[in-house]
Amino acid sequence: MDYELKFQFKQYKNYFKQPLSTSHGVWRVREGIIISLSNSAGRTSYGEIAPLPWFGSETLAQGIEFCQQLGEKITPEEIITIPDTLPCCQFALESAYLGLNQPQLASYPKNLDFCYLLPAGEEALTSWQDLFQENDSITTFKWKIGVFPLATEIEILKRLTQMLPPKIKLRLDANGGLDISQAQNLLSVTDQLQAIEFIEQPLSPGNPDNLANMLQLGKEHSTLLALDESVASFSQLQKAHQQEWHGVYVIKAAIMGFPSRLIPYCQHHNLDIVFSSVLETNIARETVLNLTQQLNHPRALGFGVQHLFTE
Ligand code: MG
């Protein structure tokens, strides 16, 4: 007979120091749910539901509804049958369950290499210096584009890459905000810039032709491309791999369902991955950083985001 675990949940709200501008719009507060599972031995383990509905995950309201209908008990059987329409709930409950049974997983090196997020627009020109002054072991920055007119962003990009120390790599994240001709225009510039590690999600995932269009862009340009929004769910990840995407895959594990399904898939197919934050709290952050230890990931982790929050 399946045994029961005690289930509890609590909502949280974390405010950004400054509202975050992306091509999805302005984000002021990160809201989510912390869940806990306790076993009969009195051990408790935590998980986090950190939805990102504009990436296709469930909404916060759907997460709350799921938690409310569970009541105060859940069985392992119920955890593995959480539907794919609730990927953040799958992640939270399974990771808490695994934490309950494999507490030794909770250890990752403290000197992990993080990529630090810069604000959109001209602010990046000063912001990188502030971050680098605090931590000169930084290897990688990420800059959001597709927020201002492309010509303006290209001008800023040229200035930024001239300023950066030679050891620093720069990721550009368009969040799907470019059309094909804008992407070609940008790529013709970045093909000439040594500092560019890759461009993330140049074209919108909303257009079903855009995976093929990005495959084509990848063939025409030397700049490496990464998929993010196009691989936001486990089924989309499988689909991109089946279509022979050879670029980088950005893995937002906290919105991609059961870790027990995601990690072996990435391992088996030897994907070129970058783990990335969904601006979660330390609960999901620790879980994902532990998961990274199970995979080869030579690229800086997209977890240099803690400077964005107020205490
Ligand atoms: Mg991205």
Q: What mean pLDDT do residues 87-102 have?
A: 94
Rounded CA-CA distance 170/91 in Å is 30
Q: What is the largest CA-CA distance in the chain?
A: 65
Ligand 1 center from residue 308 Cα (angstroms): 16
- % of the chain at pLDDT higher than 70: 97
Catalytic annotation present for 252? yes
The CA distances from residue 117 to 14, 24, 232, in Å, are 17, 16, 19
Range in 54-68, 236-250, 290-304 the model is least confident about: 290-304
216/192 Cα distance (integer angstroms): 19
Interatomic CA distance for residues 185 and 131, integer angstroms: 30
- pTM for this one? 0.92
CA distance 240 to 212: 10
For ligand 1, the distance from its centroid to the CA atom of residue 201, given in whole angstroms, is 7
Report CA(175)–ligand 1 centroid distance (Å).
5
Asked if pLDDT for residue 123 goes beyond 60, the answer is yes
- CA dist 103 → 47, 54, 60, 192 (Å): 13, 33, 28, 47
CA–centroid distance, residue 143 to ligand 1 (Å): 10
Q: Which of 73, 110, 144, 169 is catalytic?
A: 144
Measured in angstroms, how far is the CA atom of residue 68 from the centroid of ligand 1? 31
SS3 at position 33: strand
Give the residue-averaged pLDDT of 273-278.
Answer: 95
What was the pLDDT predicted at 305?
87
Q: Report whether pLDDT(105) > 60.
A: no
Whether the predicted pLDDT of 274 surpasses 60 = yes
Contact 250, 271 (CB under 8 A): no
Average pLDDT over residues 66-72: 96
The pLDDT mean for the chain works out to 93
Q: Which segments of the chain are extended strands (E)?
A: 5-22, 25-38, 44-49, 73-74, 114-118, 140-144, 169-173, 196-200, 225-227, 248-251, 273-275, 301-304
N-to-C CA span, the chain = 45
Q: Is 144 annotated in the active site? A: yes
Q: Give the model's pLDDT for residue 272.
A: 95
| Rounded-to-integer distance, Cα 155 and Cα 285, Å | 34
Task: Say if CB 248 and CB 228 are below 8 A apart.
Answer: no
**Average pLDDT, integer, range 154-163:** 97
Instruction: Answer with the residue of higher pLDDT: 49 or 18.
Output: 49
Q: What is the mean pLDDT of residues 208-234?
A: 96
Look up residue 5 and give its two tokens. 């675990």
**Two structure tokens written together for 65:** 């509804």
**DSSP letter assigned to residue 146:** S
Quote the pLDDT of residue 121. 94
Q: Supply the pLDDT for residue 311.
A: 61
Q: In angstroms, what is the span from residue 310 Cα to ligand 1's centroid? A: 22
Say how far apart CA 288 and CA 122 lie, in whole Å: 31
- Number of Cβ within a 10 Å radius of residue 220: 11
